[in-house]
Every structure is written in C-alpha cells, then in structure tokens.
Amino acid sequence: MIQLPVINRASLWYLIVVLTAVSFTWSERLSSIGVILLVAHWLLDSHLLIKLSSCWSRLTTSRLLPITLLLWSFFLLHVLGLLWSDHIAEGWQSIEVKLTLLILPVLFATENYLDAKKTATIFLIFSLSCCLSFFYSVAYSYMHYYAKGWSAVVQRMNISEGIMHPGYYSNYFAYALVWCVFELTSVKKNTTSRQAMLIGIILIVLSALLLLVSKTAMLYVTCFAVYMVWLSTARIRQMAQRILVFIFCIGSIGMMITQIPTIRIRIIETFRDSSQLNKDVPLANSTGSRLAAWHNEWTLIKEKWATGYGTGEANVALKNKLINDGYVRLAEENMHTHNQVFHTWLDLGILGVLLIVAILLVSSQVFSRLQNRLAWWLLPLIVMNILTDDMLEVQAGTVFFAFFLTLFIYQRSDKRLSYS
C-alpha cells in the first residue's frame, strides 16, 4: 500500500511561499491566490487561539513595533482618506491593492519558518521561474509577431504582452539578478554544477533585462553593478589607488553598456523625448508624458499639500488638470500619476509621504542590523519604482514588495520556528 508523505505546517507554509514567489513572474494577479492560501494556512491551525493570544505581543516587540505601526498606519490612512474623497469606488480599489500591508505583517510575524537555506531555495526557484517565464514571453511574441519580422518579435512591449507591462515585469528579473550575483560571489563554496547553473541564470536574466529595457530596472542594475565593483576592489589597501581602479572599471563598463543597441536607443529616446514637451505629447512618450504629468501633479499638490484630495482622487484630479491645461491627448489616454510619492501626496497629503519615507528608513535599519544584503537591496528597487511609477497602486508592485519586505522583516532571529 502506498503511503503519502506527511506534510507538516512548516513544509506547507514553505510550499505556499514558494508558489507565491513563482506566481509573480507569470501574472499580475496570480499572487492573490498565494496570499489567500497563506491566510487559510494561518487560520487552519489547531493552536489558532494560542497564536492569536501571542499575535499582539509578537507584533509589538521592540524590534518590530515601529515598522508594524508604520505599515498599518499607511494602510489605515488610506481608509481614513475616504472621508474627504469624492470617488469612493476608486478609493476602495486603492485600499484593496494595499490589503497585504495589513495582512502580511500578522501572518509572517506569528508564523515564519524562513531561514538561510530556505531563502536560497526560494530565490533559486524564483529565478528559474523568471527564466521559464521569459522563454514563454519570447515564444508568445514569436507566435504573434513573426510575420512582421524579428524586430517586432523582440520589441519590448510585444515580448511582455503575454505576461504584464515590461516596467513591472523587469523588476522580478532585476531582483533575481541580485540574488544570483550574491549567491555566485558568496564565501561558501558552490559546486561547479551550481556555479554553471547560476551563471546560466544570470545570462538569461540579463538577456531579459536588455530586451525589456525598463529604464527603472536598468538604473537599479547599474547601481547594483557599481556596488559590486566597489566590493571587488576591497583588496586594494591604498584608498587613492582603489578609487582610481574603481573609476576606471566603472567608466569601462559604462562605455561598453552604452554600446548595446537596446540601451543606446533608450538613452537617446530619453534625451529626445524630454525636449519635446508640447501639449500633444502622447502616452507612448514615456519620458515626456511623465514630465508633463509631474508638472501638473506638483501644481495640484501645492493647492492641498497638507491633506490631499482623498483616497482615490489622485488620477481623477490629474486627468481634470491635464484637460484644463490642454493636455487633452494624455487625458484621453488615461495618463496616471507615474510617481507613487506624488500619488500618495495627492491622495493623503504630506503625512502619507512621510509614512512612505519612514517605512523605507526603518526597513533599512532593520535589514542593516540583520546584515541581510538581499533584503536591503529590495529597498532601492522600491525607491526607484515609486519615483518613476505609481507602483503601490498596482498588484504587481504592492504585493511583490510587501511580500518580500514583510517576509524578511518578520523573519525569526532565533532558532524557534513555530509560534503556535
């Protein structure tokens, strides 16, 4: 008689976390299922009452209290912002996307089995999923656009069409790249086969980033490359010599990177588009449309900088302002804020912006204290995304960032794995 293996709570939790991480690379909304499964796993516990009684004490420990209060305050401020909002439906939609900021701290603070070994496995599977997702995206583009030629097949919007917007999609490849590089250059000895696998993943991930050519992701990868080059010069004891070698390496790498056609085109496009700020600027002009939107958003912010216009009002207020200022084409194409800081400021006023800054600073402090480089490098990715897009208004951004942020923050520092 065949006996099925017994899956304990820790193994089931681990499986759900892995599946959730994988889901990000395949669909913008699939991660909701992972969060629902985590909630169900948390509730279906024979020690639920004990876990509930210890929940508050766990969340309010000296190390976790500040970040817990900040995450919950940011969420609750959005609920409060409905009081002075004229568009309640849009407000509730914004709140729904941010539910993970309320739920995940509870789930991961009271039941978190993450350790170094599990982290490595989760990110290896996540990185492999990125590669498979990229292969699917290329195949999808080939099947739909081959008749128009290879230039259409490798066009960034066509490649990402089968999954999600290339700006969101690129974030996953960028973060997978960070883990792969850290893993490849770690002190521990990797087997030859593991090193070959990591190098292969890095090459595939870089290929994906070069084809998707997200400016935000490329800027993030550039910053990470600068960091790694600086670390690689650590053996040079004389600081002046180290700085010279560092500058030479960065200059050489920069010159080579700018010769890559896709990157060179995006750089030229950025300078060209930023100089074409007329009233008829299209949404397809990613730089020009953003500059036009940010200019109008800042005007709106100055009118109600303290309280904002209410949850869900940011894009509505921007659209009306664009129409009034003659940017009719952008308004018709439903241009949105493309800047989470401005978006939050328009919705909630200055307090919402201060909460975002505080969450990032406190998270940085926690990760620095834990000496978790992988977790810390999630923060620059968040910063660059919220400065160039309203990433906390879409599930592909909010759930991804909230998932890994809280998973790392509420990781247990002791050897006890169960909180029941």
What's the pLDDT tens digit per position in 63-77? 788 899 999 999 999
Contact of 384 with 219, CB cutoff 8 Å: yes
Give the closest residue to 42 by CA, choosing from 121, 95, 112.
112
Q: What is the pLDDT of residues 349-370, one digit of tens each?
A: 999 999 999 999 999 999 999 8
DSSP one-letter code for 281: -
Q: How far is CA 332 from the centre of its chain?
A: 28
261 by Cβ neighbours in 10 Å (0-12 / 13-18 / 19+) ranks as: exposed
112 by Cβ neighbours in 10 Å (0-12 / 13-18 / 19+) ranks as: buried
316 by Cβ neighbours in 10 Å (0-12 / 13-18 / 19+) ranks as: middle
Q: How far apart are CA 417 and CA 336, in angstroms?
A: 43
pTM of the model: 0.91
Q: What is the pLDDT of residues 231-283, one digit of tens each?
A: 888 888 888 888 898 898 888 888 888 877 777 777 777 777 666 667 778 77
Contact of 80 with 34, CB cutoff 8 Å: no
In total, the chain counts a number of residues equal to 420
The amino acid occupying position 220 is Y
Low-confidence ranges of the chain (pLDDT < 70): 1-7, 60, 62, 187, 189, 273-277, 413-420
3-class secondary structure, 207? helix
DSSP one-letter code for 97: H
The amino acid occupying position 419 is Y
